Amino acid sequence: METEFGNYKLIKYLGGGGFGDVYLAEKWGGPCKIYLAVKKIRINSETTEEAKKELIKEASILKEINSEFLVEYYDSFQYNGIPYLVMDYYDKGDLYQLIFQKNFNGGDIRKKIFSIFTKILLGLYELHKQHIIHRDIKPGNIMIVDDFTPKIGDLGLAKILGSTNSTMNTIAGTLIYQAPEMINSNPSYTSKCDIWSLGITLYMMFLKKKPYPENNPGQLLFLIMQGKYNPIPVNSDSDLKKLTEKILCIDPLKRPSAEQIIEDPILQKNLKLYGLTNLVIKTKNKLKKNLDEKSKEKNLNFPKYYLKNNLRYVDLLAWVKDLRCPYCCKMPEKANHFLHDIQTLGGGNVDKVDWNRCDQVDFIYWEFYCDKCGKYFGVHNDYIATHYK
């Protein structure tokens, strides 16, 4: 295998999963050595160029997410036809390793569990608010730094959703952490699948064991689809038991969202007990500010205009042809219909449109619906006029 390419030199193999192999790498070109983790995506003969480009595109979106609870992505590229993702490297291992270490059980174990759980929850809250489903939440994908702070990693399967009510129809992730709705005969799931996986992770953190027997795959599938797991002992910590059982609700419509779990009285009580309330407030305020800034950027993305008699005139046809949903980057349904209506003026031929029949149109706010992702979005300005020659 080639070990040097671009600005990176692979040093050693760290491990692998179902979607690729991870290497420790050194980045060149700076005054000091920088060590990063490079994930080589596993491809096969059926992997299309379009799929590779889509993966690189998704990784570039992840680079824009700024969260202290997510592994930071630095770069994504193709080399010799193979996609690579470059991210932060952590040498303290993952949550799965930590759960079964003796030092994890020392000290105030309850405080450690609530602290780690809350930070993973906040990471998911940030992802879901930005319409991203992780789809592979498990202890092995949660890296640990020095102060027991978790970092959600392996976002290679993440998909940008146009709405938290949108659904994904692809089974992915490790079986025992998958939500029941992910593995039924007609899978259709939302961000609530990450919440189920979080519940399984919490179960393992305080019981130090997996919730299902793994020696019988058929039985395992049946148990997951029925929403059944090894019962939590009655003498377990009351708050952890109630919180886990509340999260592991088989009905995704009744299963709480990340935001609802944050506001749950059980968690709120323990946030105050362990001094985590300010962390939650800070995270929510930071995310709101970031989303507000992104929203302003989208609202400023108006069609090009030219000035005439102190009014702004827009080539509406050219604008609609290029209009894309700001959430999924595809042409929304209403825009398609609108473009069709304009083309009809010229007998279906854009080049034959009779511009004299197009009156000047004043508007303050137009709303579009994207049938690709189920999201409504608006384009507005103080005063925009459309005009054709």
Which of the residues are catalytic? 136
- DSSP-derived 3-state class of residue 84: strand
Distance from C-alpha of 162 to C-alpha of 150, rounded to nearest angstrom: 27
Handedness of CA 283, 327, 258, 104 (dihedral sign): negative
Contacts of residue 296, Cβ cutoff 8 Å, sequence gap at least 6: none
Q: If you search the block for the tokens 């979080």, which residue do you land on?
A: 198
- DSSP-derived 3-state class of residue 366: strand
Number of helical H runs and strand E runs in the chain:
12, 14
Contacts of residue 206, Cβ cutoff 8 Å, sequence gap at least 6: 109, 113, 236, 237, 240, 244
- DSSP-derived 3-state class of residue 223: helix
Burial of 335 from C-beta contacts in 10 A (0-12 / 13-18 / 19+): buried
- DSSP-derived 3-state class of residue 276: coil
- DSSP-derived 3-state class of residue 226: coil
